[in-house]
Amino acid sequence: MKQRVLIVNKFYYPRGGDCVCTLNLERLLADRGHDVAVYSMRYPENLPSRWSGYFASPVDFSGSAKEKLRAAARTMGWGGIRSSFAGILADFKPDVVHLQNIHSYLSPRLAVMARQAGARVVWTLHDFKPVCPSYGCLRDGKPCEECFDSKTAVVRHRCMKGSLAGSVVAWLEAMRWNRRQLERNVDLFICPSEFMRGKMEKAGFDPAKLRVNCNFVGFDKMERFKTLEAPDRSSRGVYYCYVGRLSEEKGVESLLEAASKFPAVLKIAGDGPLLESLSGRYSDNNNIEFLGRRNPDEVVNLLRGARFSVMPSICYENNPLGVIESLCAGTPVVGAEIGGIPELIVPEKTGLTFESGNVDALLKALDAAYKADWDYGAIRGDALERFSADRHYRELLDIYNTHTGPSRRR
């Protein structure tokens, strides 16, 4: 019998990678014959859902003082989520509650309630929030793991956007929903990368509670990748590309510094807080072209026409869809040796890696990738299987059906 699955994520529209994965999962399970329900936060941009009547009231961390207090209360598990979540648990009666990105705007309180209702609880970790109160394991532009041993570091360094108040709230949330609380109420944590699994274990989480299941490419994009063959070198443009957010942690400043010295065109698709400053700084450089945000079809075409793509992050990337989608287009990736990026790339076959943040190393990698004779068809064929929905679903069913006892670590 197919399990009844309740999927939980704080937003229900394609806001970021976690939301895209949530929407893909909902369709995957429904297409495979599962009864699926969704619980989220009410938000103007949300997609239509038959379950929206159960959704939690919105909170705003950047609003008035009263709104900030309501948001802070939500991190503790208060603020209107108990009754609404209890309602969908009672009416839908899920066999499995599959948590996605729930911290702050919803709450790990939902895991406690799901366990009390008799559901199996699994949680896909899209960021490092269970081990880093500020989500990203990044401080002053460099990886930081200080909170693995002492959560007070988030307050000492004011890691939440430089705000003391915000950092205190993050610390309180981490204390309330500590490792023991999370392990007690979650059957298995799904880590999209081996890198994340390793960091969770390093921070003290029970290895028996951790399973790896790589993300998969969404159905519409996958159909495009399957329909369109990977062009060979002679049919590709004389450019390489970056697709993603223009923000500090993504390493785009290092990429642009290298690109300004490299004699080929870099096309950048995406927006973010650095778009205006970077586009202004490099406006006179003919080798750098800012395309802004592009729709999914335009991204697919951009990737298919590129010699290679670049993932220059300086943060602990988990399982970046930018790398996965590039490979599915048959386009090799030059990726930083950080986070889960290297485990997606087979050196010399599907891409190259370089020391994160090292402009000289990146320049050498760009040159080698541009000159290499890549087997674009083989890259595409391997990726279409490796990142398929079928592969993800097989591993997900095993996770849904694996029964674990209480955590060995207390």
Whether residue 405 has pLDDT greater than 70: no
Whether residue 407 has pLDDT greater than 80: no
**Rounded to whole angstroms, how far apart are CA atoms 25 and 21?**
6
Tell me what pLDDT residue 403 has. 64
Whether residue 1 has pLDDT greater than 80: no
pLDDT in tens, 191-202: 999 999 999 999
Share of the chain above pLDDT 90, in %: 83
Distances (CA, A) of 240 to 267, 337, 353, 408: 6, 19, 15, 48
Confidence band of 408 (pLDDT split at 50, 70, 90): very low
Q: Is 266 helix (H, G, I), strand (E, B) or coil?
A: strand
pTM for the full predicted model: 0.92
Distances (CA, A) of 338 to 137, 138, 213, 276, 341: 12, 12, 19, 27, 6
pLDDT in tens, 311-335: 999 999 999 999 999 999 999 999 9
154's CB contacts (< 8 A; 6+ apart) are: 132, 133, 134, 147, 160, 167, 170, 171, 174
Tell me what pLDDT residue 68 has. 84
Whether residue 410 has pLDDT greater than 80: no
* Residues 159, 160, 164, 170, CA torsion sign: negative
Residue 224 CA from chain centroid, whole number: 22
Q: Which two tokens stand for residue 206?
A: 């029970």
With left for phi above 0 and alpha for psi between -120 and 50, is residue 165 left, alpha or beta? alpha
The residue-averaged pLDDT of 166-173 equals 92
Per-residue burial over 203-237, b if 16 or more Cβ lie within 10 Å, else e, is: bebbeebbbbbbbbbbeebbebbeeeebbeeeebe
Whether residue 224 has pLDDT greater than 90: no
Mean residue pLDDT across the chain: 93
